[in-house]
Structure 1
Amino acid sequence: MDFINRLDAIHAGVRGNKWMRYFTTFTRLALAAGFLPAGYVKIIGERFTDLHNNQPMGHYLEALHRTGYYYTFIGYAQVLAALLLLIPRTVVLGVLLYLPIIFNIFILTLAVRFEGSLLTSPLMVIACIYLLCWNYDRIKFIFPFYTPPPIPVISNNKFPLWFFAGVFASILAVGFTVTHMYNILPRNTLTDCERQCGDSENPGACKIFCETIHTNGQDLNSALKVYEQALKKDKR
């Protein structure tokens, strides 16, 4: 308890300093400014940089850009994290979303030795950790050294039939949805991809789709466009 009380006292002292509050506000704004333009570029579907594809980071970003709406999803996540940081009541939620994204960028930067974010990405990771420390009073309940006050538990041995029925129904619904949501898949190899063509309404278009990916090396979106064009030609 002395250790926890000491941490609470240190935190209260830091939070009471005017200049530390100014610095915290600046940190929040700086982090938000770092993600807003980066996220917006991804949302509108533009390539993030003009790096050459043969450059290590450019190679990665080109592949990321070809992932379709996953690329857009990252952009929305970055913008959402930035907006949450701008609102005092949602700062913690914003940091918890921001930190894994920027930490991933930091590790990527080190892995490909990209000098463009070699300085900024570790500083942004440290800034996120600082904001978590600033909001220690709101997150201390998750630490193993903190013992929350006991909550009375009401004993109940009745089998929760409707709960487990809902779990079972959810598993069936998810399983059915993910296995029937696509009429064609790229699969892992050309042979595996062409196996699905036997059950396809248009085996010829299906094989063209598989060859576009596994033989011609095109991305999924390009292969889907070729597939749709082949279907239209067949209908004519």
Structure 2
Amino acid sequence: MNRLTKFDQFYLKVKHNRWYWYFSIFCRVILAYAFVVAGIVKIMDEKFASGLSEIHPMGAYLTALHHTGYYYPFIGIAQILAAILLLIPRTVTLGALLYFPIIVNICILSLAVRFEGSLVTSPLMVLANLYILVWNYDRLKYIMPFKKIADYGIVKKPEKYNNKFPFLFFIGVGLTFGVTVLISQKGFDIMPRNSMSDCKKQYHQTKYETIGNEFCECVHAKGNLLDHCLDEFKEKKERIDNN
């Protein structure tokens, strides 16, 4: 066996801790549930987030996606397959590998169009997926481009887990959740929101109320490109700040 690195030593310690194991199961179940729900919608050929206007940035994307023929249910099948593989202990690594590119794509899309419906959940799902991948590092290390790896094989489930509660880890989980929520709420100058009324509440009774309303009308009434509406809002906001 090659000499264990500090990471390998820490990894083996984590794999023998009951609370890290519980958290891996929690992540698997939550991720699987999310993709089963989303996948069934697509297989049933129902439009995802059907309440969004078709001229909303995300609504326009989802409408176009809904009209892609068999590609739309194919995505649903891939999501459900990834979910099932995640739930089966012997195939969890394969499920996590299939899940990862799908959820990263959803996350980037949510950030790009500032869709509040998944602005919090999709980054957290990416992190949960990464946790599962790291949890299964003992399987993944053989396909990673490392020159040297510690060949301690697949880590077997211990007969007795260490019950020490990892306070720092779960404090970090809580802080990550809080920071993600904070960024989703405060990380953008303005967001299209899901409706005109919600959009206009962002700068209600402030000096930016007029240009904020104009942005909302640009997105929800005129159906202009989000980047165009954002550029207009930014220019107007800079003029107000400079006066």
TM-score in terms of structure 2 length: 0.59
* Aligned equivalents of 1:15, 1:6: Cα separation in 2: 14
Partner of 1:176: none
Letter in 1 for 2:99: Y
Q: How does 1:68-79 map to 2 (within 5 A)?
A: 68-79=69-80
Q: Could you report, residue by residue, the CA deviation over 1:124-157 in whole angstroms, capped at 9, with x for unpaired residues?
A: 00111111110110011233334369xxxxxxxx
Shift of 1:9: 1.4
Map of 1:60 onto structure 2: 61
Secondary structure, counterpart of 1:145 in structure 2: coil
Contact 2:107 2:122 in 1 (8 A): yes
The amino acid across from 2:28 in the alignment is R
Instruction: Give the structure 1 partner of residue 167 of structure 2.
Output: none
Change (3 A) 1:8 1:138: same
Counterpart of 2:91 in structure 1 is: 90
What amino acid sits opposite 2:84 in the alignment? L
Partner SS state of residue 76, structure 1 = helix
- Structure 2 CA distance, aligned partners of 1:140 and 1:146? 11
Which is higher, the Rg of structure 1 or of structure 2? Answer: 1
Conserved? CA contact 2:141–2:149, under 8 Å: no
**Map of 1:102 onto structure 2:** 103
Q: What is the match of residue 124 of structure 2?
A: 123
Q: Which residue does the alignment assign to 2:145?
A: 144
Partner of 2:136: 135
Structure 1 segments (4+ residues) deviating >3 Å? none
Q: What letter corresponds to residue 101 of structure 1 in structure 2?
A: I
Superposed CA offset, 1:25-60 (max 9, x none)? 111000001100100010011111121101000000
Q: Is the 1:84–1:94 contact (alpha carbons within 8 Å) kept by the matching residues of 2?
A: yes
Higher relative contact order (CA 8 A, sep 6+): 2
Q: Secondary structure at the match of 1:48?
A: coil
Residue aligned with 2:100, SS? helix
Unaligned regions of 5+ residues in structure 1, if any? 150-236
| SS of corresponding position for 2:130 | helix
Q: Which residue of 2 aligns with 1:160?
A: none
Which string of whole-angstrom CA distances, capped at 9 and with x for unpartnered residues, describes residues 162-217 of structure 1?
xxxxxxxxxxxxxxxxxxxxxxxxxxxxxxxxxxxxxxxxxxxxxxxxxxxxxxxx
Answer yes or no: is the 8 Å Cα contact 1:141–1:147 preserved in 2: no
CA distance in 1, matches of 2:79, 2:114: 22
Q: Distance in 2 between matches of 1:87 and 1:73?
A: 21
3-state secondary structure, aligned to 2:104? helix
Between the two proteins, the alignment pairs up a number of residues equal to 148
Q: 1:38 to 1:29 in 2, by over 3 A?
A: same
Distance 2:114 2:65 in 1: 18
- Please state which structure has a larger fraction of its residues in helix: 1
Equivalent residues of 1:28, 1:85 under 8 A apart? yes
Question: Could you tell me the percent identity over the aligned residues?
Answer: 59
| Distance apart, 1:5 and its partner CA | 3.0
1:182-193 correspondence runs (5 A): none
Output the amino acid matched with 1:45: D
User: Normalized against structure 1, the TM-score is what?
Assistant: 0.60
1: distance between equivalents of 2:41 and 2:106? 16
